[in-house]
Amino acid sequence: MAMVGLFWVTEDGVVYVGSEPEGYGRGVRLTAAGVEGLGTDQGGSWAWGEVGGVEVRDMKIRPSTSRLLVGAAVDLVVSTISGGGDSPGAFEVHLDTADGTVELEAYVAAAAGGYAQSEYDLSVALLKRLADGTADLGALEEWGRGAEGTPRREEREALLRKWAS
């Protein structure tokens, strides 16, 4: 498994937006054919030709380093007082279809306070290109088959630029 931007790519080349769901957990899987909603109350699939647009909502963007440290300290205190909680943060993936907007939920894969703004922006650009048919999911799938863990930020951003071009 490797994470690049908003994408979680398995060793088998399966691509998710957000983390790979476990059991009945919610998630969004991308395939060459289209988008699949996974988990309780959001099953379904939509061919790329049916998807007029993709929007990501309620995504946690990582703040600057100093704000990240303060936020982590606050999160630790709140977690301790409230008894903790192992659930990752969730966000929404909205698909514009001929039948209206489909709202899917996925879980954040990024640790330490969310995604960097640059990776988020590049990921959203790639999702839009996938939806309009000007990018190929095959490049992500193929990369995942040979990936050896999550690359450093500079390489992740370079990959996102390459895949979206």
CATH number of the domain within which 37 lies:
2.30.29
- Structurally, how many domains does the chain consist of? 1
Cα separation, 27 vs 107, in Å, equals 7
Q: Is the pLDDT of residue 57 over 70?
A: yes
Mean pLDDT of 98-105: 94
Predicted confidence at residue 63, as pLDDT, reads: 78
Model confidence at 80, in pLDDT bands (50, 70, 90)?
Answer: very low
Rounded CA separation 57/91 (Å): 6
**Angstrom distance (rounded) from CA 54 to CA 126:** 10
- Looking at the domain assignment, is residue 72 inside a domain? no
Q: pLDDT > 90: what percent of the chain? A: 64
Classify residue 55: in a domain, yes or no: yes
Q: Is residue 71 part of a domain?
A: no
Confidence of residue 9 (pLDDT cuts 50, 70, 90): very high
Q: What is the mean pLDDT of residues 69-86?
A: 40
Residue 84 predicted with pLDDT over 70: no
**With 80 as the cut, is the pLDDT of residue 163 above it?**
yes
